[in-house]
Amino acid sequence: MSTLKNVADKLAAWRRYREAVRELSQMTDRELNDIGIRRGEIETVVRQSVMSTVG
């Protein structure tokens, strides 16, 4: 059963990742700068954030 939970957790993390990337990608460069992210860093920043929540 833990394997199924692991798969479900990874799927949920992937969904959070894609949603966060989508939201940040829609922001202007100025908005991104205000929160300290460059457009080219979006995927890396989100990946690090999501991975820190996945055990």
Domain boundaries, the chain: 2-53
C-alpha to C-alpha distance for 45 and 36, rounded to whole angstroms: 10
Q: How large is the average pLDDT for residues 2-8?
A: 90
**pTM of this prediction?**
0.84
Q: Tens digit of pLDDT for each residue in 17-33?
A: 999 999 999 999 999 99
Output b/e per residue, 13-44; b: 16+ Cβ within 10 A. Answer: eeeebeebbeebeeeeeeebeeeebeeeebee
- Whether residue 1 is predicted with pLDDT greater than 80 in this model: the reply is no
Rounded distance between C-alpha atoms, residue 55 and residue 50, angstroms: 10
Predicted local distance difference test score (pLDDT) of residue 52:
84
pLDDT at 35: 97
Q: What confidence tens digit (pLDDT) does each residue in 30-55 have?
A: 999 999 999 999 999 999 998 887 75
